[in-house]
């Protein structure tokens, strides 16, 4: 049974939706998945791709996963991966810094054209993408 969710945006620790998780995780650890990350000021959008998208792996008691997914599906605008959804939930392989597989987890992929919706591709220094994008102070 899948007991984990990989997040890369507003559900991460320190972000605006961190408090939306319906139950406490057993643990949260850093990780990355393959994809292409797009961003706006308010939230990011993930599409399939070859960059390393850096985020967090939230691990739960397996019995809590149905409740967790129900809440996250509502947040992400997912209704059974239907045509009108904003995001679709998929399984992803999450890896650690050494590139070792640490989990198969659920994650949410954007189901619309991110460019048409005002997103731009997130820079990938060293091949890694993360959101929010850290901006350099002006003049540097």
Res. 97 pLDDT band, cuts 50 70 90 = very high
Per-residue pLDDT averaged across 93-117, rounded?
98
The CA–CA distances, whole Å, from 87 to 33, 35, 36, 63, 73 equal 17, 14, 14, 24, 8
pLDDT of 133 reads 83
pLDDT at residue 137 tops 60:
no
pLDDT at residue 139 tops 50:
no
Q: What is the pTM of this model?
A: 0.94
**Domains recognised in the chain with CATH numbers:** 4-129 (3.10.490.10)
């Amino acid at each position: 049974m899948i007991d984990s969710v990989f997040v890369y945006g507003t559900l991460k620790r320190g972000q605006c939706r961190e408090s939306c998780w319906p139950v406490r995780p057993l643990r949260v650890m850093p990780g990355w998945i393959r994809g292409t990350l797009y961003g706006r000021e308010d939230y990011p959008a993930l599409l399939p791709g070859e960059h390393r998208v850096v985020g967090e792996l939230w691990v739960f008691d397996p019995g809590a996963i149905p409740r967790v997914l129900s809440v996250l599906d509502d947040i992400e605008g997912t209704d059974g991966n239907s045509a009108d959804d904003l995001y679709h939930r998929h399984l992803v392989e999450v890896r650690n810094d050494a590139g070792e597989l640490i989990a198969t987890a659920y994650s949410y992929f954007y189901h619309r054209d991110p460019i048409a919706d005002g997103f731009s591709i997130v820079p990938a220094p060293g091949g890694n993408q993360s959101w929010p994008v850290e901006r350099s102070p002006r003049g540097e």
